[in-house]
Chain A
Amino acid sequence: MEPVTRIESATVVIDQSDIDTDQIIPARFLTTTSKEGLGEALFADWRYSADGGENRDFVLNDPENADRTILVAGNNFGCGSSREHAAWALADYGIRAVISTEIADIFRSNALKNGLLPVDVPAELHRWLLDHPGANVVLDLETNTLTLPDGREHRFRIEAFARYCLMQGTDQLGFLLSQEDAITRFETTRPWKP
């Protein structure tokens, strides 16, 4: 994985709360056995009309948004199904950070494992971001800071170990594998066996 330290982009805004992972990628695209190419299916039922043509009203189909990498969405982004395909689809499409007032637990965990930064912001800042699509935002993991175009700053919270892994560009499996002795000790000394 590429290390993530600083993300700077104009924002893409989807001002809708409770965007579930079925919207991010519908179930009919889950028959893949790979992580690749899922960006094509990102928000498929919103991006494409029933006949397969592009839905011009949908924000991702606006050419102005083509290279933007920070998504601002309504409260409770990524709720519902645990499908990591949602994080894979966003990352494959080119999204590198999602900003909301609240991000669902499993989606957050999946995003952090795929170089996709979930950022919680307070309601007032969220409203400003929703009202200013295309605003240039900087997310800095060195200082955990979100910076707005006018220089206003917000310190966001991120789980310490996930942050370390993002900045190193390393996955979390190596750390777990390094716990081998503790795991074996737990297995042999626990009072009951599953």
Chain B
Amino acid sequence: MSSIDMNGAQTLFEKVWNQHLVVPETDETPAVLYIDLHLIHEVTTPQAFSVLRERGLPVRRPDLTLATMDHSTPTTPVHKLADIEVVGEGAANQIRRMQANCEEFGIELLGFDSDARGIVHVIGPELGATQPGKTIVCGDSHTSTHGAFGALAFGIGTTEVGHVLATQCLLQRRPKTLAIEVTGQLGAGVSAKDIILAIIGEIGVDGGTGHVIEYRGDAIRALDMEARMTICNMSIEAGARAGMIAPDDTTFEYLWGRPRVPQGEDWDRALARWRALATDGDAAFDRQVRIDASRLAPMVTFGTNPGMVVAVSETIPEGPGPAFAKALDYMGLESGRPIAGTPVDVVFVGSCTNSRLSDLEQVAGILRGRRVADNVRMLVVPGSQQVKRQAEEKGLDEVFRAAGAEWRESGCSMCLGMNGDTVPRGKLSVSTSNRNFEGRQGAGARTVLASPLTAAASAVQGRIADPRPLLEGD
């Protein structure tokens, strides 16, 4: 447990935690923590609604609950979303149940008839529902994304989804704090995805277990909100349930004018409150790690967890133990060989990690005037219907189509392959998503995690490729 500084100095996490304590923790019982925003989706909620129904309980705060459908939804292009055909009876049933549950319990659902539908971690910020200082949970481990705004946001299981639906609260022990200070200027062609992959490589896939991470330092401050979301998104891949970034002018400018942020005088009051959230100068963390961003290159994974990562210019390392050998065998890769040049079958641009407008713009920047290699299937899946519209207004869809990539409806898609978008067995995918676990993108599929720039460069070359030689102006 973190110690409270004798001078009352607090970290960002401690401020948000303390402001949401309904009942403090004791030796016998965890804290009762109030939740300001509960995001729900179709895959991790049906069993929670069943519990409410069995016990005759209402949803305590439907007004603080926001639903969408993203995981098992198809992304095939259609002229009318209502005509979408769902892959498989299981997925169709789940979608019908979500609609029925939201109707029965009075929850707002951004479903197929809504132009605000999208990946839950893309639409929360987009709508301005995600705000600094809030506690935000969802039955999804990438809820950590929302920490980019200075919210305390973390993934929960379905039983806990039921707890929040019924009481708007969770029972939680206070986690420890881990400061990750990222300093220095990023080189051209190196992006937020490379920073977070490098961090996971440095501290390991269990490096953040039991901790909430705060990302700090001038390299973090220099990032726009979409890049900050990419960083916080993958906190869970380092074992941390939550990752946070102190809100600043970049945060406030992003939020200004969005539909669900406070308006008028309420905005001014909120702003004053948000400005006070940053970690106090003399507050202490349980652990600290430093990363020099100026030394980073584009990063790619070579194994079957996100900590097995190298710079794209490096060779695949030697590793200890049978698990390392098993991972390389699964990937069809060999120690000592350069990772660049490995043939690619599929390129996936999408997921709650990298499916926002700036990600798509970076991909289009590489694809413009070029073609996806003949042997490669490339999918571009926007994070939300709003991202899709914005990309189309900028003509990005034309760039993708002209290059030979598929342009889809929004959703989680090939990140976890439960909607029919999968990578075939034994095929290698360069993916902007967050997990390269065995079978993550389909049974037997091989996944290499990379930034949008690296994914686009690899699509063009048909091999894992360093994006830097393809950048405009080079």
Contacting residues, chain B, for A55 (C-beta < 8 A): none
B341 CB-CB contact with A under 8 Å:
no
A34-B46, A79-B239, A84-B157 provided; 11 other pairs, C-beta below 8 A?
A: A22-B438, A27-B418, A28-B417, A31-B91, A31-B93, A34-B47, A45-B444, A82-B156, A102-B209, A105-B209, A110-B158
Is A194 in contact with B47, judged by CB distance below 8 angstroms? no
Chain B positions within 8 Å of A104 at CB level: 206, 209, 239
Q: Which residues of the other chain, A, contact B439 by a CB distance below 8 angstroms?
A: 22-23, 26, 45
Selected contact of B155 from candidates A16, A106, A161, CB within 8 Å: A106
CB of A86, distance to nearest CB on chain B (Å): 9
Chain B 285-316 against A: per-residue CB contact (8 Å), 1 yes, 0 no?
Answer: 00000000000000000000101000000000
CB distance from B56 to the nearest CB of A (A): 12
A-B contact pairs, 24 of them (CB 8 A): A18-B205, A18-B307, A22-B438, A23-B437, A23-B438, A27-B417, A50-B444, A76-B209, A79-B239, A80-B236, A80-B437, A81-B141, A82-B156, A82-B157, A105-B210, A105-B241, A171-B159, A172-B163, A173-B163, A182-B23, A186-B22, A186-B34, A192-B270, A194-B37
CA distance A92 to B119 in the complex (A): 30
* CB-CB under 8 A for A18 and B269, given A106-B157, A159-B173: no
On whether the beta carbons of B171 and A172 are closer than 8 Å, the reply is yes
Is A143 interfacial (CB 8 A cutoff)?
A: no
Q: Which of A46-88 contact B (CB under 8 A)?
A: 50, 74-76, 79-84, 87
Shortest CB–CB separation between residue A185 and chain B, in angstroms? 8
- Structural contact, B32 and A183, CB atoms closer than 8 A: yes
- Knowing A16-B323, A31-B90, A176-B171 are in contact, say whether A161-B29 is a contact too (CB < 8 A): yes
Q: Which residues on the B side are within 8 Å of A160 (C-beta)?
A: 27-29
Give the Cβ gap from B81 to chain A, nearest Cβ, in Å. 20
Q: Within the complex, which residue of B22, B23, B163, B239 is in contact with A76, where a contact is CB–CB below 8 Å? A: B239
Q: List B contacts of A18 (CB < 8 A).
A: 205-206, 305, 307, 323
- A81-B238 Cα distance, complex, nearest whole Å: 12
* A74 and B209 contact, CB distance less than 8 A: no
Indicate whether B440 reaches chain A with its CB closer than 8 angstroms: yes
For residue B201, give the distance in angstroms from its CB to the closest CB of chain A: 14
Contact B269 A45 (CB under 8 A): no
Nearest to B444 among chain A residues (CB) is: A50
Chain B residues whose C-beta falls within 8 Å of the C-beta of A179 in the assembled complex: 22-23, 32, 167, 169
Q: Which residues of chain B are within 8 angstroms of A30 by Cβ–Cβ distance?
A: 43, 71-72, 418
B188 to chain A, nearest CB (A): 32
| Interface size, B (range) | 35 or more
Which residue of the partner chain, among A45, A79, A87, contacts B206 with CB atoms under 8 Å?
Answer: A79
Rounded to whole angstroms, the CA-CA distance of A16 and B321 in the bound complex is 10
Which chain A residue has the least Cβ–Cβ distance from B92? A31
Nearest opposing residue in chain B for A34, CB measure: B47
A109, B210: Cα distance in complex, Å: 12
The verdict on A35 contacting chain B, using a C-beta distance below 8 Å, is: yes
Compute how far the CA of A183 lies from the CA of B34 in the bound complex, rounded to whole angstroms. Answer: 8
Give the chain B neighbours of A33 by CB distance below 8 A.
46-47, 50, 93-94, 97
Contact of A45 among B36, B51, B140, B443 (CB under 8 A): B443
Q: Which residues of A contact B94 (CB under 8 A)?
A: 31-33
Q: Write out, one digit per residue, whether chain B residues 442-474 have a CB within 8 A of any chain A CB (1) or not (0).
A: 011000000000000000000000000000000
Of the candidates B29, B60, B134, B444, the one whose C-beta lies within 8 Å of that of A175 is: B29
Docked-complex contact A28 and B157, CB < 8 angstroms: no
Going nearest first, the 3 A-B pairs with the smallest beta carbon separation are A31-B90, A194-B36, A33-B46
A164 vs B27: C-alpha distance when bound (angstroms): 12
CA distance A90 to B426 in the complex (A): 27
Q: Identify the closest chain A residue to B159 (Cβ).
A: A113
Residues 1-42 of A, flagged 1 when their CB comes within 8 A of B and 0 if not, give 000000000000001111010110011101111110000000
Tell me if A50 and B206 are in contact (CB < 8 A): no
B64: chain A residues at CB < 8 Å are: 194
Give the residue name and chain of the A residue nearest to B137 (CB): A82
Determine the distance from Cα of A50 to Cα of B27 in the docked complex, in whole angstroms: 49
Chain B nearest CB from A188 CB (Å) reads 12
Contact with A along B142-171 (1 / 0, CB 8 A): 000000000000011111101100111101
From B72, B168, B169, B273, contact of A31 by CB (8 A): B72
Interface centre among B37, B47, B326 (most CB of A within 10 A): B47
Chain A residue contacts of B139, Cβ below 8 A = 82, 84
Partner pick for A194 among B134, B166, B440, CB 8 A cutoff: B134
Question: In the complex, are the beta carbons of B156 and A26 less than 8 A apart?
Answer: no
Minimum Cβ distance to chain B for residue A68 (Å): 22
Residue B30 is within 8 A (CB to CB) of chain A in the complex: yes
The answer to whether B47 and A35 have CB atoms under 8 Å apart is yes
Give the contacting residue for B167; candidates A76, A176, A194; CB below 8 A: A176
Cα distance, A20 to B239, chains bound together (Å): 11
Name the distance in Å between A89's Cβ and chain B's nearest Cβ. 13
